[in-house]
Amino acid sequence: MKMNISNIYIAHKSETCFSKSGNPLSVYRNLSEAQESADYQYTQSGIALTAYQCKTCGKYHLKPTEFYCEKLSSTCSCTDHNGKKKDAYPTAQDAEKMVNIRKRAGIALFVYKCPQGNGYHLTSSKGY
Ligand SMILES: [Zn+2]
Ligand SMILES: [Zn+2]
């Protein structure tokens, strides 16, 4: 008997988390379920997805790998020129990935090491 794969990969839609375009995100109960679904979607669409644990709902969602950047949850007191807390990335490569994403949107950013040792930050000007 052939397994009906579409039954396995029905994901629940989130009531709390939405994509930038306003669509509810698919919710997975655990990481392996999310990863399985990511693998399946890759075979179907060729789009690589990364599973991540959501800070809002505590469950798992998928994000296109090319837009996924690991962020540090630890904080430092670095702020941007608007006084907003800066995102921190664990490695220069992660930060670089974000630079490339923003570059496509026409925003030039630079990577620099957190002076407080909290990974890497991005800045829009060389003067920080
Ligand atoms: Zn969520
Ligand atoms: Zn910092």
Model confidence pTM above 0.85 = no
The DSSP code for 66 is G
One-letter identity of residue 18: F
Whole-number Å distance, alpha carbon 54 to ligand 1 midpoint, is: 4
Whole-number Å distance, alpha carbon 98 to ligand 2 midpoint, is: 16
Whole-number Å distance, alpha carbon 70 to ligand 2 midpoint, is: 15
Calpha distance 116→32 (Å, rounded): 35
Element (H, E) at 82: none
95-110 as b/e: b if 16+ CB within 10 A: bbbbbeeeeeeeeebe
Mind listing the pLDDT tens digit for each residue in 65-119? 888 888 888 889 999 888 889 999 999 999 999 999 899 989 999 999 999 999 9
For range 50-71, the mean pLDDT: 90
Whole-number Å distance, alpha carbon 27 to ligand 2 midpoint, is: 31
Mind listing the pLDDT tens digit for each residue in 33-53? 999 999 999 999 999 999 999
